[in-house]
Structure 1
């Protein structure tokens, strides 16, 4: 057994792929999300396939109370967390500032920024008590470039970038690593959620090039977690070969 990894937003996409990658390497897992049936199905599949233990925690990272209660009551055996992956996040809609939906803004800010903060604050005491640990924050190329109609989503990912840098500084005395991974275009549920179930609009995002896959991000997440104790990758941007940054993508249609 290699240790314990906590992955937020593990019911699909990057989170699910990361959980599978670490389970295959022998880690026990704490997986969180809002969709209980999906968490339980993933728990069953991983425990049967890899002879590990999986603890599913059903809560919404947007709820400070739910996060606090969950981790205050975390069983002692599960508090020896080696890696925290703050993966839960989403984008909603594409619109100019003046046409934006303020409810969508609240959801993105509450999930992408405040949710990351709530979970990190709850888990960091466990890492400090051990004198080691690794926090991996899943950002986006939107943390590096602002694109048309991406305003609030880009702002939340810029915040993730800034918070990752701040965590790295604040946690230096405690031997806790902090890594921000910023993926570019990746074909997961991301665009389906952004376009609120419009599958055709989501599919169109990835036409003309091969996007990243969830497994690519899982591979990178695993890699940065396995480096020697004296090595920390602070900031990593990963894109498909056809994408230079959040703005420029070469498509062959």
Structure 2
């Protein structure tokens, strides 16, 4: 397959973590890219870096704003209209306190980003994806979608939405050539976690010290592998943890 036959890859939240590593991975293999995020300076720098490897279009975007998403889709140049891979990576976690101590504003921000933002971008791009002979939607969920843990409350619930939304899309588009995957990482070391702890470097370091956690490049490799599967293969969901992470016995509280 020559470079001009490769589908365009659209990645949300491309300025750091999984999104950044994924953009670099696809660019290294010559895929044309559309990269979005809220931090325009970072997007511009990344665009300059990746443009040495492939064609890149960047757009500063807050996926929570449905009007802005619609404007973005209209602004995509004709050369980038053949979007065949959508990586819904934009998302965040805020706080790890028990629910009664959590900020309602943080809850709303997580829902607006992880749920509403993903819905906005997916709905706006479905007409383009349906035009392709084959297309892939890869949604970044989390093991928090499958396993409860203290302090996960709204974050875990929002990622459960992502996982179920992925399955429902898969049902809607069975037989159409559109593939849908819910990718569910466990303990991963990236700026994502630093945001969750409000920039607290000490708390961040304590979480990851000695864990050999998943790195953004690991997730980028998995996303690339999913996208590169033959057209008749759909990876429905994929849960991945570092080997240092597993499940504990169920919690029992004695009275």
Deviation at 1:200, TM superposition (A): 0.7
Match in the other structure for 2:49: 45
The SS at the match of 1:218 is helix
Match in the other structure for 1:251: none
**TM-score normalised per structure 2:** 0.93
Larger mean Cα displacement after TM superposition, 62-71 or 8-17? 62-71
Deviation at 1:139, TM superposition (A): 0.8
How far does the alpha carbon of each residue in 1:15-45 deviate from its partner, in whole angstroms, 9 at most, with x for none? 0000000000110100000000100111111
The SS at the match of 1:174 is coil
The SS at the match of 1:82 is strand
- Alignment partner for residue 204 of structure 1, among 197, 206, 209? 206
Alignment map for 1:1-253 (pairs within 5 Å)? 1=3, 2-48=6-52, 50=53, 52-245=54-247
How far does the alpha carbon of each residue in 1:65-107 deviate from its partner, in whole angstroms, 9 at most, with x for none? 1111111232222110010000001000012222211110011
Cα distance in 2 for residues equivalent to 1:86 and 1:43? 19
Q: Contact between 2:177 and 2:231, CA under 8 Å: does it hold in 1?
A: no
5+ long unaligned stretches in structure 1: 249-253
**TM-score normalised per structure 1:** 0.94
Q: Contact between 2:32 and 2:80, CA under 8 Å: does it hold in 1?
A: no
Structure 1 vs Structure 2 CA RMSD: 1.2
Q: Contact between 1:191 and 1:205, CA under 8 Å: does it hold in 2?
A: no
The SS at the match of 1:32 is strand
The SS at the match of 1:55 is strand
5+ long unaligned stretches in structure 2: 250-255
